Amino acid sequence: MSKVPNYFHFVFGLKKQTSPFHLMHYLCLKSCIAVNRPDTVYFYYDHEPYGYYWELIKPFLTLERINIETLNSDISYKDETLCKYKYAHIADFVRLEKLVERGGVYADIDTIFVRPMPQHFFGKEFILGREPDIVNERGEIKTSLCNAWISSSKGSDFGRLWLSKMPEHFNGSWSNHSTVLPAELGVDFPELIHIEPQSSFYDFIWSKEGIADLFERNVNVGKNVYSIHLWAHLWWDRSRKDFSRFHQGRLNHAYVNRASTTYAALAKPFLPEKKFQLLPERFLALKEMAKRLTRIS
């Protein structure tokens, strides 16, 4: 019996958008739709994306605006310098709230979907996947269940429990409320959650080797891999080189189409069809010209 509806949920644009919607984000959504054939793809945002790839994928999404200024997310910071990350922490709350409200599958938008969810997933009340253990701010090794992919039935007991405990466990870090807490709850309430092995969603880990295997080398993907999290926050900025010299500027249409790498091979089938392959720069230039002509007339 199916407990989880075939809905997919994504959260994006909780801060002002200063650059066009990226190809990586488009390929995440396009691969999700092609691989999983969801009944509905919910896209939650505060600031709507823009640009060439957004215009291509937007018609396939159910958009829902969230005004983060009105959210009661119980987020407070002892260290005020962390406030700049509030949009990302709010996303941790929003994904769970929407899954409990509607049921379905949530995924971070830096994901590439590889294989359809197996049918038995839809019969599980709540699913998370393991990632490597982490070391917290006190130097303790902690088991971690990553929240970059979550499956939940509507009103799931585990989802509601996790959500109720998040405010008291929020300490401004990335993991205490979002990955360590569900692992601890999973130990206390194992009957409420199904835990997938690391290979299901996090076969390539957040390390120099893992990122190189994705974007610089061609590695065989295991048969039990359903989706791959890309850990974009570790390599996105051009100036960040501690994990990789690869960056978002290099992940473009030509790279996906021609590179002999793990990610390019997985993403290439989801590139826009040739008849839509107007260069993004040309698309934006034409759009700006149309705006100027409208103002003149």
| Residues 6 or more apart whose Cβ sits within 8 Å of residue 174 | 88
229 φ/ψ angles, rounded to the nearest 5 degrees: -85, 135
Whether pLDDT at 241 is above 70: yes
Tell the residue number behind the tokens 């994306």, with chain if given.
49
Evaluate whether 237 touches 247 at the Cβ level (below 8 Å).
yes
Determine the average pLDDT of the residues in 208-227.
96
Determine the average pLDDT of the residues in 192-207.
96
> Mean pLDDT across the chain, nearest whole number?
88
pLDDT in tens, 140-167: 888 999 999 999 999 999 999 999 999 8
What distances in angstroms separate CA 25 from CA 22, 30, 103, 132, 152, one per listed residue?
5, 9, 22, 25, 23
Confidence band, pLDDT 50/70/90 cuts, at residue 13: confident
Class level of CATH domain 7-272 = alpha beta
Determine the average pLDDT of the residues in 280-293.
57
Can you say how many angstroms the Cα of residue 149 is from the centroid of all Cα atoms in its chain?
7
Global pTM value? 0.87
CA-wise closest residue to 257 among 241, 274, 243, 240: 274
| Whole-number pLDDT of residue 273 | 78
| Residues 6 or more apart whose Cβ sits within 8 Å of residue 7 | 38, 39, 40, 41, 42, 102, 103, 104, 105
DSSP-derived letter for residue 15 is S
Identify the helix (H) or strand (E) that includes residue 264: helix 262-267
| Residues 6 or more apart whose Cβ sits within 8 Å of residue 242 | none
Query: Rounded CA gap, 179 and 146, in Å?
Result: 5
Evaluate whether 191 touches 161 at the Cβ level (below 8 Å).
no
Query: Rounded CA gap, 182 and 106, in Å?
Result: 15
| Whole-number pLDDT of residue 44 | 97
